[in-house]
Structure 1
Amino acid sequence: MLDKAPRIKQTVKSKMKGHVNVRMASEAMLELVTLLFLNNLAQEARTKAFEEKSTIIRAHHVKAVAKKVLKSARG
């Protein structure tokens, strides 16, 4: 488990082509959206694990629900 959340600003800048100016408020909003997405993914994976009568969330539970969560996150 990570001690602190990863910095999204560097990831966004590395993915974008050209000069991108990411301000502090935008960076905070990106981090909040990312944390909400990860929280939703974890909840869905937990539900999938309970459906399979498992008390531990494993990688295959996350992979099973990742497509559904990504689709719902896009809108």
Structure 2
Amino acid sequence: MTDTSRKRMPGAECSVSVMFVCEGCKTVYEASQIPLPATSHFRCELCDGIVHRWSGSYDYVQWKSFPRSWGGR
């Protein structure tokens, strides 16, 4: 029996975790890169600076931040 109750994100089976650092406040973020064409950007939840901008073959989803003690100043 197959579980169909969970909705799958397009491209989720091919996702890659990618780390980013906000240049403004040094907050570390992780996002999932999926093979879905997109143009967008992600802003830092602390300082509102642009963490990453993208346009092309991939989209970045499921952003989460890490405590500043992990890599920030």
TM-score interval (norm. to shorter): under 0.3
Bigger proportion of residues as helix = 1
Higher relative contact order (CA 8 A, sep 6+): 2
Give the TM-score, by structure 1 length.
0.18
Larger radius of gyration: 1
- Structure number with the higher strand fraction is 2
Tell me the TM-score normalised to structure 2 length.
0.18
